[in-house]
Amino acid sequence: MTILPETRIDSGRVRGLWRLHRSADGSFSRHAIFLGIPFAAPPVGEARFDAPRAVAPWSGVRDCFLFGSTSQLRSPWDPPRIPEPSIWGPSVLNVNVTTPEPAAGAGLPVLVWIHGGGFIAGSPASPWYGGQSFARDGVVTVTISYRVGFEGFGWMADAVNNRGVLDWLAALEWVQRNVEAFGGDPARVTIAGQSAGAAAAMRLLSMPSAQHLFHSVLAISPPDASATVAEGRAASARIAAAVGASPDRASLEAVDGLAFFEARGAALAPVDDLLTGFVVREAQCLALGPLVDGDVCEDSVSDALAAGVGADKPLLMGACAHEFNDLTAGLSDLIGTTPAGALLERAGVPADLAAEMAEEAGVKGAAWALGQGMTNAIFRQTVAHWAPLRAASGARSWVYDFRWESRAPGVAGAAHCVDVPFGMDILGFAATDAAVGPNAPQSLADAVHGDWLALVCDGVVDAPRCGEGRETIAYGADARRSIGTGYEREALLWEATRA
């Protein structure tokens, strides 16, 4: 009989399961999984809009065989590019651990993964986030949950705010206290995430209060989670009005989570220009996210990086070439015969850069060009702006540009999320083929996963650091190469549109 893996954490003993993982080369490795371990008490009743509370200890052994509940009650995307299941239940603050050595003393590096979903959705129960290839490579993976949508980020004057951020901090404190029981080294923790998860990682990197919780950062397609309290208050007031409540705790406590989910679109302020405002509306989604309140989040990410916060932490960050280009495909009727360059100028892109982007779009047309404008505004410009801030503080930073184009039907170019299966080294499964297509190159997965692994294990990447020359790692058809200069146009766009 196979003995199930067990270990003791600060709240009691936990029992997991053994799993076998088949790698691309046909070899097998064994690892243990522990699912749905609570790191905080269920945020229900009086605790619903409070900071996370301590979990009650248990006696005996807790079976951790199933994923815990998720804050996401329903996915807003059909189908989602990353499969992220919704699991109903009250105990939504939990972690999942994958480890090759479920016992204290192994001293293994740790990857803590924060899921994305625009701060309104997402789930740590995705098959993409299992960490099986990292376990094969001697790394402990911890995926964490947090409150999303209004539950985690809605602003109320008479409640604890930035609750989702406090959930991240509580989960990372749990890792510090408990990861050694799973073979991990609490002094070798890398925080990582994609999209909103990358925004979370950059938000944590820029918080003085979080510096003791990790040693390096991996940010995959990070937007800027630096909305003001005024923006968050306005977005939350619109949601409150949409659900028929007043913007105070007593009134909002009577609203169930599904009603908040259905009203999520109300967070967006109206715009005058439906076409160019589409870019603005997508960026507004982050108003229902972490807010610069001077307390939990003391400063914007940019200002904190410029001040040198987190400069001692190695960072690998970057974006896909065509993150959101396909989101504007349905606007063709509204665009009509409007030239791409003129459309981009209406969106605030300087004429010379608009002409370059229009020429690059070519026969793909104005909708594609407008989508590139959204890709740049939300993702690529932040990378272009943050890299030199890090370089100026002497921080060790590496920047990548993922340009490999998906082969999956309905996925356009190097689109949002396409790089994650390569970094996780999980090609060849049905759960990933829908995003990357069949026969995706394992050589590229070896390169991307290798860079992620090097950062997690050693805090370095085998490439020139990004400095004043904007040195960049390019992932594409030729797998991996270093280029002297990257994100030049995006840096110009940042200066022209946001400075």
203-234 pLDDT tens trace: 999 999 999 999 999 999 999 999 999 999 99
List the Cα angle 258/113/172 in 5-degree steps.
90
> Is the overall model pTM greater than 0.85, yes or no?
yes
Instruction: Name the one residue in this structure whose structure tokens are 């390019």.
Output: 474
pLDDT tens for residues 383-429? Answer: 999 999 999 999 999 999 999 999 999 999 999 999 999 999 999 88
- CATH code: domain 6-497 is 3.40.50.1820
DSSP string, 435-484: HH-TT--HHHHHHHHHHHHHHHHHS--SSPPP-TT--EEEEETTEEEEES
Asked if residues 414 and 474 have their Cβ atoms less than 8 Å apart, the reply is no
pLDDT at 24: 78
Taking 50 as the threshold, does the pLDDT of residue 7 lie above it? yes
Using CA atoms, how far residue 97 sits from 20, 102, 244, 266, in Å, is 15, 9, 40, 36
254-273 average pLDDT score: 91
DSSP-assigned states of every residue in 41-61: ----GGGTTS---PPPP-SSE
Judge residue 242's burial from the number of C-beta atoms within 10 Å of its C-beta, 0-12 exposed, 13-18 middle, 19 or more buried: middle
178-182, 236-240, 495-499 — which is least confidently predicted?
495-499
User: Above 70 in pLDDT, residue 2?
Assistant: no
Range list of H helices, 74-148: 132-136
Q: What is the mean pLDDT of the chain?
A: 94
Query: What distance, in Å, lies between the first and last C-alpha atoms of the chain?
Result: 64
Segment holding 397, helix H or strand E: strand 397-402
Written as one letter, the residue type at 169 is L
CA-CA distance, 202 to 222, in Å (whole number)? 7
Q: Read off φ and ψ for residue 473, nearest 5 degrees.
A: -90, 125
Distance CA 262, CA 332 (A): 27
In this prediction, residue 201 carries a pLDDT of: 98
The residues assigned a catalytic role are 195, 323, 416
Collapse the DSSP code of 82 into the 3-class scheme (helix H, G, I; strand E, B; otherwise coil) and give the result.
coil
Tokens of 122: 């997402």
Q: How far apart are CA 339 and CA 330, in angstroms?
A: 16
* DSSP notation for 247-311: SSHHHHTTS-HHHHHHTGGGGSPP-S-TTTHHHHHHHHGGGSS-EE-SSSS-S-HHHHHHTTTTT
In this structure, the number of other CB atoms found within 10 A of the CB of residue 182 comes to 29
Encoded tokens for 451: 């860079």
The residue written with tokens 């979370």 in the block is 200
> Of all residues in the chain, what percent are helix, strand and coil, respectively (each to 5)?
40, 20, 45
**What is the pLDDT at residue 1?**
36
Q: Is there a contact between 402 and 319 (Cβ–Cβ < 8 Å)?
A: yes
pLDDT digits (tens, 9 = 90+) for 438-469: 999 999 999 999 999 999 999 999 999 998 88
pLDDT tens-place string over residues 264-306? 999 988 888 877 777 767 767 788 999 999 999 999 999 999 9
User: According to DSSP H, which parts of 67-224 are helical?
Assistant: 132-136, 149-153, 163-178, 196-205
> Where in the chain are the domains?
6-497
Kindly tell me if the per-residue pLDDT of 499 is higher than 60: no
